């Protein structure tokens, strides 16, 4: 088990882009946290290396990968590209089975949600009528 974890960590480090010890800023961290929660609360099935997993199991797996890679990521885009969308061992893409039963690659599905999240973050709510 320890050997498998070590092999997993080494494979992940090789696939990540080289960076000085960096970490996501607060805004990017919020986006990553949102994406993880989005997966966890989706209730959908996720496919990793041809095996189906629940949303909770998929989010737990992403969290483990993120824990290994966090200091090498600076953006939510890098989280999707290097952690959440494909296996760092087999290089096979991950998939999500959407509510309508269609299987699609997880990367584009997460990017669509990231785009919505970022758009919502830049939209200011209307000011209260009594506010000055």
Q: Is the pTM of this model over 0.85?
A: no
Task: Describe the strand order of the beta sheet including 51-53 as a list of residue ranges.
Answer: 51-53, 45-48, 95-97, 103-105
Q: DSSP H helical segments within the chain, as ranges?
A: 2-15, 26-42, 55-69, 76-79, 106-122
Residues in CB range of 66: below 8 A, 6 or more apart: 32, 36, 73, 79, 83
Question: Which tens digits make up the pLDDT trace of 57-112?
Answer: 999 999 999 999 988 899 999 999 999 999 999 999 999 999 999 999 999 999 99
| Domain coordinates in residue numbering, the chain | 20-117
Listing DSSP states for 28-64 in one string gives HHHHHHHHHHHHHHH--EEEETTEEE-HHHHHHHHHH
CA separation for the pair 115, 110 (Å, rounded): 9
Question: Which tens digits make up the pLDDT trace of 1-46?
Answer: 565 554 555 455 555 555 445 667 889 999 999 999 999 999 999 9
């Amino acid at each position: 088990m320890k050997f498998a974890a070590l092999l997993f960590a080494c494979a992940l480090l090789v696939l990540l882009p080289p960076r000085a010890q960096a970490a996501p800023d607060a805004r990017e961290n919020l986006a990553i946290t949102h994406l993880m929660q989005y997966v966890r609360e989706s209730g959908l099935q996720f496919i990793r290396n041809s095996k189906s997993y629940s949303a909770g199991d998929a989010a737990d797996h992403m969290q483990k990968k993120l824990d290994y890679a966090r200091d090498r990521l600076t953006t939510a885009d890098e989280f999707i590209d290097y952690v959440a969308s494909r296996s760092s061992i087999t290089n096979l893409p991950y998939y999500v089975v959407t509510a309508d039963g269609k299987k699609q690659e997880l990367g584009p599905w997460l990017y669509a949600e990231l785009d919505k999240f970022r758009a919502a973050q830049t939209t200011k709510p209307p000011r209260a009528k009594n506010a000055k």
